[in-house]
Amino acid sequence: MVSKAQLQDHVFSASTIRAVIGLGNPGARYVKTRHNIGFRVVENLAEQLNAVWQTTDKMEVAQVSMTVDGSVSSVYLIKPQTFMNESGKVMVFLTKKGIKPEQVVVVHDELEKPFGNLGLRFGGSAKGHNGLRSIMGVVGAEFWRLRFGIGRPESREEVGDYVLTPFIRPEEDKIGQLLDQACRLIFG
Protein backbone atom coordinates (compact mmCIF):
# COMPACT_ATOMS: atom_id res chain seq x y z
CA MET A 1 0.00 0.00 0.00
CA VAL A 2 1.21 3.49 -0.82
CA SER A 3 1.18 6.00 2.02
CA LYS A 4 0.32 9.67 1.53
CA ALA A 5 3.78 10.56 2.83
CA GLN A 6 5.33 8.61 -0.05
CA LEU A 7 3.21 10.56 -2.52
CA GLN A 8 4.59 13.85 -1.21
CA ASP A 9 1.18 15.56 -1.22
CA HIS A 10 0.34 14.24 -4.70
CA VAL A 11 -2.64 11.93 -5.01
CA PHE A 12 -2.42 9.38 -7.78
CA SER A 13 -5.32 9.33 -10.20
CA ALA A 14 -5.25 6.98 -13.17
CA SER A 15 -7.48 9.40 -15.07
CA THR A 16 -4.66 11.99 -15.22
CA ILE A 17 -2.05 9.60 -16.66
CA ARG A 18 -1.23 10.19 -20.35
CA ALA A 19 1.87 8.01 -20.73
CA VAL A 20 3.42 4.91 -19.21
CA ILE A 21 7.12 4.40 -19.92
CA GLY A 22 8.65 1.01 -19.22
CA LEU A 23 12.40 1.15 -18.77
CA GLY A 24 14.65 -1.50 -20.25
CA ASN A 25 17.22 -2.24 -22.92
CA PRO A 26 16.37 -3.22 -26.50
CA GLY A 27 17.49 -6.53 -27.97
CA ALA A 28 16.96 -10.25 -27.43
CA ARG A 29 19.91 -10.44 -25.03
CA TYR A 30 18.06 -8.34 -22.43
CA VAL A 31 14.47 -9.57 -22.80
CA LYS A 32 14.09 -11.49 -19.53
CA THR A 33 16.65 -9.61 -17.44
CA ARG A 34 15.84 -7.85 -14.19
CA HIS A 35 16.67 -4.47 -15.73
CA ASN A 36 13.92 -5.00 -18.36
CA ILE A 37 11.02 -5.48 -15.99
CA GLY A 38 9.70 -2.05 -17.02
CA PHE A 39 9.41 -3.26 -20.62
CA ARG A 40 7.60 -6.37 -19.44
CA VAL A 41 5.03 -4.41 -17.41
CA VAL A 42 4.26 -2.11 -20.36
CA GLU A 43 4.09 -5.10 -22.74
CA ASN A 44 1.62 -6.77 -20.38
CA LEU A 45 -0.47 -3.60 -20.26
CA ALA A 46 -0.40 -3.37 -24.08
CA GLU A 47 -1.54 -6.98 -24.34
CA GLN A 48 -4.44 -6.36 -21.94
CA LEU A 49 -5.50 -3.31 -23.99
CA ASN A 50 -4.96 -4.96 -27.41
CA ALA A 51 -2.49 -2.21 -28.31
CA VAL A 52 -0.46 -2.22 -31.50
CA TRP A 53 3.20 -1.24 -31.25
CA GLN A 54 4.84 1.14 -33.71
CA THR A 55 8.61 1.37 -33.85
CA THR A 56 10.70 4.50 -34.34
CA ASP A 57 14.44 4.93 -33.94
CA LYS A 58 14.02 6.08 -30.32
CA MET A 59 11.06 4.07 -29.06
CA GLU A 60 8.35 1.54 -29.48
CA VAL A 61 5.07 3.30 -28.83
CA ALA A 62 1.44 2.28 -28.68
CA GLN A 63 -1.40 4.76 -28.30
CA VAL A 64 -4.55 3.42 -26.69
CA SER A 65 -7.90 4.88 -25.77
CA MET A 66 -9.25 3.73 -22.46
CA THR A 67 -11.96 4.61 -20.01
CA VAL A 68 -10.69 5.45 -16.55
CA ASP A 69 -12.92 6.76 -13.77
CA GLY A 70 -15.74 7.28 -16.29
CA SER A 71 -13.79 9.39 -18.79
CA VAL A 72 -12.07 8.37 -22.01
CA SER A 73 -8.33 9.04 -22.15
CA SER A 74 -5.68 8.63 -24.78
CA VAL A 75 -2.60 7.03 -23.27
CA TYR A 76 0.83 6.34 -24.75
CA LEU A 77 2.64 3.15 -23.80
CA ILE A 78 6.36 3.50 -24.45
CA LYS A 79 9.45 1.29 -24.50
CA PRO A 80 12.51 3.48 -25.13
CA GLN A 81 14.87 1.88 -27.66
CA THR A 82 17.82 4.11 -26.72
CA PHE A 83 19.20 1.80 -24.03
CA MET A 84 18.70 2.55 -20.37
CA ASN A 85 21.22 5.38 -20.05
CA GLU A 86 19.42 7.53 -22.63
CA SER A 87 15.80 6.80 -21.69
CA GLY A 88 15.11 10.50 -21.21
CA LYS A 89 15.12 11.09 -24.97
CA VAL A 90 11.50 9.91 -25.17
CA MET A 91 10.43 12.79 -22.93
CA VAL A 92 10.92 15.19 -25.86
CA PHE A 93 8.22 13.26 -27.78
CA LEU A 94 5.83 13.50 -24.83
CA THR A 95 6.52 17.19 -24.28
CA LYS A 96 5.68 17.88 -27.94
CA LYS A 97 2.38 16.05 -27.38
CA GLY A 98 1.60 18.44 -24.48
CA ILE A 99 2.10 15.77 -21.82
CA LYS A 100 3.47 17.06 -18.53
CA PRO A 101 5.89 15.03 -16.37
CA GLU A 102 3.25 14.64 -13.63
CA GLN A 103 1.04 12.85 -16.21
CA VAL A 104 3.69 10.15 -16.74
CA VAL A 105 4.33 6.87 -14.93
CA VAL A 106 7.82 5.41 -15.35
CA VAL A 107 8.03 1.68 -14.59
CA HIS A 108 11.48 0.53 -13.48
CA ASP A 109 13.42 -2.10 -11.59
CA GLU A 110 14.18 -1.23 -7.96
CA LEU A 111 17.17 -2.70 -6.14
CA GLU A 112 16.05 -1.26 -2.80
CA LYS A 113 12.88 -3.39 -2.72
CA PRO A 114 12.73 -7.15 -2.28
CA PHE A 115 11.72 -9.16 -5.33
CA GLY A 116 8.06 -8.67 -6.17
CA ASN A 117 7.50 -5.71 -3.90
CA LEU A 118 5.68 -3.04 -5.94
CA GLY A 119 5.40 0.60 -5.01
CA LEU A 120 3.95 3.71 -6.60
CA ARG A 121 5.42 7.08 -5.67
CA PHE A 122 5.74 10.59 -6.96
CA GLY A 123 9.15 12.21 -7.35
CA GLY A 124 12.30 11.23 -5.54
CA SER A 125 15.90 10.62 -6.48
CA ALA A 126 17.37 8.34 -9.12
CA LYS A 127 19.14 6.22 -6.46
CA GLY A 128 21.80 5.29 -8.98
CA HIS A 129 19.32 4.15 -11.64
CA ASN A 130 20.65 5.49 -14.95
CA GLY A 131 17.29 5.33 -16.74
CA LEU A 132 15.68 7.51 -14.07
CA ARG A 133 18.70 9.81 -14.06
CA SER A 134 18.34 10.28 -17.83
CA ILE A 135 14.64 11.14 -17.58
CA MET A 136 15.30 13.50 -14.66
CA GLY A 137 17.98 15.21 -16.72
CA VAL A 138 15.30 16.16 -19.26
CA VAL A 139 12.20 16.92 -17.12
CA GLY A 140 13.26 16.91 -13.47
CA ALA A 141 12.00 14.54 -10.77
CA GLU A 142 8.30 15.37 -10.73
CA PHE A 143 6.82 12.25 -12.34
CA TRP A 144 5.23 9.04 -11.07
CA ARG A 145 7.30 5.90 -10.64
CA LEU A 146 6.13 2.34 -10.37
CA ARG A 147 9.03 0.69 -8.57
CA PHE A 148 9.24 -3.07 -9.20
CA GLY A 149 11.39 -4.74 -6.56
CA ILE A 150 14.11 -6.99 -7.95
CA GLY A 151 16.14 -7.42 -4.75
CA ARG A 152 19.80 -6.63 -4.33
CA PRO A 153 22.94 -8.72 -4.64
CA GLU A 154 25.11 -9.12 -1.57
CA SER A 155 27.94 -6.98 -2.92
CA ARG A 156 27.68 -3.51 -4.45
CA GLU A 157 30.23 -4.59 -7.07
CA GLU A 158 27.78 -7.23 -8.34
CA VAL A 159 24.96 -4.77 -9.16
CA GLY A 160 25.91 -4.25 -12.84
CA ASP A 161 25.91 -7.96 -13.57
CA TYR A 162 22.92 -8.67 -11.32
CA VAL A 163 20.50 -6.34 -13.13
CA LEU A 164 21.50 -7.83 -16.49
CA THR A 165 20.81 -11.43 -15.47
CA PRO A 166 17.46 -13.20 -15.84
CA PHE A 167 15.24 -13.82 -12.85
CA ILE A 168 15.79 -17.20 -11.21
CA ARG A 169 13.17 -19.88 -11.86
CA PRO A 170 11.07 -19.40 -8.67
CA GLU A 171 10.95 -15.64 -9.38
CA GLU A 172 10.09 -16.10 -13.06
CA ASP A 173 7.23 -18.40 -12.02
CA LYS A 174 5.67 -15.43 -10.17
CA ILE A 175 6.29 -12.78 -12.83
CA GLY A 176 2.95 -13.15 -14.65
CA GLN A 177 0.98 -12.48 -11.49
CA LEU A 178 3.24 -9.55 -10.57
CA LEU A 179 2.92 -8.01 -14.03
CA ASP A 180 -0.87 -8.08 -13.69
CA GLN A 181 -0.60 -6.56 -10.22
CA ALA A 182 1.66 -3.77 -11.54
CA CYS A 183 -0.85 -2.97 -14.30
CA ARG A 184 -3.67 -2.78 -11.74
CA LEU A 185 -1.63 -0.33 -9.67
CA ILE A 186 -1.58 2.02 -12.65
CA PHE A 187 -5.06 1.65 -14.13
CA GLY A 188 -7.03 -0.28 -11.53
Catalytic residue (choose from 10, 35, 108, 129) = 35
> Is 108 tagged catalytic?
no
User: What is the spatial distance between Cα 113 and Cα 59, in angstroms, rounded to a whole number?
Assistant: 27
**How much is the CA Rg of the chain, to the nearest whole Å?**
15
Phi, psi of 158 (to 5 degrees): -85, -10
Q: What single DSSP character describes residue 1? A: -
DSSP assignment of 127-184: TT-HHHHHHHHHH-S-SEEEEEE----SSGGGHHHHHTSBPPHHHHHHHHHHHHHHHH
Active site residues: 35
